[in-house]
Chain A
Amino acid sequence: MPSVFNAVYSRDLRLALRRRVEALLPVVFFVVAVSLFPLGVGPEPQTLRQIAAGVVWVSALLASMLSVTSVYAGDHADGSLEQMMLSGHSGFVIAAAKAAAHWTITGAPLVLAAPLIGVLFDMSAPALGTLLASLLLGTPILSLLGGLGAALTLGLRSAGVLLILLILPLAIPALIFGAGAVSAVDAGQSASGHFSLLGALLIVTALLAPWATSFALHIALE
């Protein structure tokens, strides 16, 4: 079982490394989208500090959802996804490996880019640290849910927009606790409650989402 996970995971990473610019697009989108907010809202540092966490989280959500369609689309188009599902290995492990690879390619760079945003939005050091921790816990949830959406919309005409409509409502709890952690720290409270709930969400999603994804893949490939 670990060997299947490793095989799928390292294959996806290798494919991403061969198309570096494409792999970096989500994080570029993330930075561009976040930079639009000061232009729209106005450059007052007080306002920016207040909206920073929410803006970063919503943009991370959108960047994840925009990039997640490609997790299965390429493999579906060239038939390798069908071979994977027919190989007799557990669909759960394949879906989990795919989500892990997506997180490594897009989720982790989003976390790494967040300090830059923190500087742009004049965030305090403790708030920025909390934001990084919440993104670290929360972005894997987005990759797992996004994988489910990608599997459900596999091969459909308007897969991209449809996926966003399907998955965004499900990602709302992660958004609430992720951005809420930063607001709590800003208000002088402890963010440990938020982190506990985000961690619980991550565990539940990691247990259930790959399972649902593997069902959705079987349905899509029937």
Chain B
Amino acid sequence: MSTPIRWFTFAAPSRFYWLVGKLNPWLWAIALALTAAGLYIGFFVAPTDATQGDAYRIIFIHVPAAWMSMVLYLAMAFWAAMGWMFNARMASLLARALAPTGAMFTFLALWTGAFWGKPTWGTWWVWDARLTSELILLFLYLGFIALQSAIDDVVRGDKAGAVLAIVGAVNVPIIYFSVRWWNTLHQGASISATAAPTMAHTMLLAMLLMTFAFWAYAFAVVFTRAQALALERERDTDWVRALPASR
């Protein structure tokens, strides 16, 4: 007799805690190994760019960080919605745990973008459509974090955060396209952020490695944070009381 897959097994905080305890050392190891490999290939093996010189190498951090910032917002909205719809504590916890990491990647993308912009465009910041959208995304993350931390009642905080995250996720495309439209109206063909037409294989490899490294890091750090949040919320339950004894 085959047992059906039980999707909600790890929705219980105690089992989630156990699973993360098993997974996390591996995730951290993968993140570290991939970061080391990706940075080595990106900084030492990949050829120097013909037009941008060595300054382009920041994209090995910048582009994956920008990708992560967007993916994590959607993941956060997804888990917040799941937690709200199914009243699943762990899903809401995941949304809460995702927000600071997403905000960190958004900030990292903006910061590295400024470092890349200075030598390449000669300025730290331009009101380019992508930069502006990324900045607004940072504001959306900050709003989510601020709202959840302002509400003392955790259940209300989870649900209010879910409404805000869903509204934000619906708005992100609208904001992106309106900012792009605004940008084309206000800025002539001065600076275009489009990447080089072709990319050497080693560059692509380094970028992919860094992307997977960031994924592994995001999983690891979000799981660690969710673990801590679960402990905090479930501190009065039997399984948390039993934890110190099982160590």
Asked whether, in the complex, the Cβ of B163 is within 8 Å of the Cβ of A153, the reply is no
Q: Mark contacts of A150-181 with chain B using CB atoms, 8 A cut-off: 1 yes-contact digit, 0 otherwise.
A: 00110011100010011011101100110010
Indicate if B120 sits at the interface (CB-CB under 8 A).
Answer: no
Contact check: which of A166, A176, A197 meets B143 at CB < 8 Å?
A166
Q: Which of B136-164 contact A (CB under 8 A)?
A: 136, 139-140, 142-143, 146-147, 150-151, 155-156, 159-160, 163-164
Asked whether, in the complex, the Cβ of A156 is within 8 Å of the Cβ of B150, the reply is yes
Asked whether, in the complex, the Cβ of A156 is within 8 Å of the Cβ of B167, the reply is no
A42 to B139 CA separation, bound complex (whole angstroms) = 30
Indicate if A220 sits at the interface (CB-CB under 8 A).
Answer: yes
Per DSSP, are chain B's interface residues mostly helix, strand or loop, or mixed? helix
Asked whether, in the complex, the Cβ of B174 is within 8 Å of the Cβ of A219, the reply is no
Quick one: given A152-B147, A165-B142, are A219 and B163 in contact (CB under 8 Å)? yes
Minimal beta-carbon separation of B121 from chain A (angstroms): 23
Quick one: given A172-B175, A222-B156, are A166 and B150 in contact (CB under 8 Å)? no
B139 proximity list for chain A (CB < 8 A): 165, 168-169
Contact check: which of B136, B150, B159, B163 meets A169 at CB < 8 Å?
B136
Interface residue range, chain A: 20 to 34
> Which among B22-30, B31-39, B176-184, B232-240 touches the partner chain?
B176-184
Contact check: which of A165, A176, A180, A219 meets B160 at CB < 8 Å?
A219
A21 to B155 CA separation, bound complex (whole angstroms) = 38
B179 proximity list for chain A (CB < 8 A): 172, 176
Quick one: given A165-B139, A216-B163, A220-B156, are A170 and B150 in contact (CB under 8 Å)? no
Asked whether, in the complex, the Cβ of B182 is within 8 Å of the Cβ of A176, the reply is yes
Indicate if B126 sits at the interface (CB-CB under 8 A).
Answer: no
A159 to B168 CA separation, bound complex (whole angstroms) = 19
Indicate if A148 sits at the interface (CB-CB under 8 A).
Answer: yes
Contact check: which of B136, B147, B178, B186 meets A166 at CB < 8 Å?
B147
A166 proximity list for chain B (CB < 8 A): 143, 146-147, 164
Minimal beta-carbon separation of B56 from chain A (angstroms): 30
A204 to B167 CA separation, bound complex (whole angstroms) = 12
Asked whether, in the complex, the Cβ of A169 is within 8 Å of the Cβ of B175, the reply is yes
Contact check: which of B136, B143, B159 meets A219 at CB < 8 Å?
B159
Indicate if A34 sits at the interface (CB-CB under 8 A).
Answer: no
A148 proximity list for chain B (CB < 8 A): 163, 167
Indicate if B170 sits at the interface (CB-CB under 8 A).
Answer: yes
A183 to B187 CA separation, bound complex (whole angstroms) = 13
A200 to B, closest residue via Cβ: B174
Asked whether, in the complex, the Cβ of B185 is within 8 Å of the Cβ of A170, the reply is no
B135 to A, closest residue via Cβ: A169
Indicate if A212 sits at the interface (CB-CB under 8 A).
Answer: yes
Asked whether, in the complex, the Cβ of A173 is within 8 Å of the Cβ of B178, the reply is yes
Quick one: given A152-B160, A219-B156, A220-B160, are A170 and B167 in contact (CB under 8 Å)? yes
B156 to A, closest residue via Cβ: A219
B194 proximity list for chain A (CB < 8 A): none
Indicate if B2 sits at the interface (CB-CB under 8 A).
Answer: no
Minimal beta-carbon separation of B106 from chain A (angstroms): 12
Q: Which of A179-201 contact B (CB under 8 A)?
A: 180, 183-184, 197, 201
Minimal beta-carbon separation of B10 from chain A (angstroms): 26
A156 to B, closest residue via Cβ: B150
Contact check: which of A165, A204, A216 meets B146 at CB < 8 Å?
A165
Quick one: given A169-B140, A172-B179, A183-B185, are A162 and B147 in contact (CB under 8 Å)? yes
Indicate if B246 sits at the interface (CB-CB under 8 A).
Answer: no
Indicate if B171 sits at the interface (CB-CB under 8 A).
Answer: yes
Asked whether, in the complex, the Cβ of A153 is within 8 Å of the Cβ of B181, the reply is no
Asked whether, in the complex, the Cβ of A165 is within 8 Å of the Cβ of B156, the reply is no
Binding site for B on A (CB under 8 A): 148, 152-153, 156-158, 162, 165-166, 168-170, 172-173, 176-177, 180, 183-184, 197, 201, 204, 208, 212, 215-216, 219-220, 222
Query: Given A152-B147, A166-B143, 18 other A-B contacts at CB below 8 A?
Result: A153-B150, A166-B147, A169-B136, A169-B171, A170-B167, A170-B168, A170-B171, A173-B171, A173-B178, A176-B179, A176-B182, A177-B178, A180-B185, A204-B174, A212-B167, A219-B156, A219-B159, A219-B160
16 A-B residue contacts at CB 8 Å? A148-B167, A152-B147, A157-B150, A165-B142, A166-B164, A169-B136, A169-B143, A169-B171, A169-B175, A173-B174, A180-B185, A184-B185, A212-B166, A219-B159, A219-B163, A220-B160
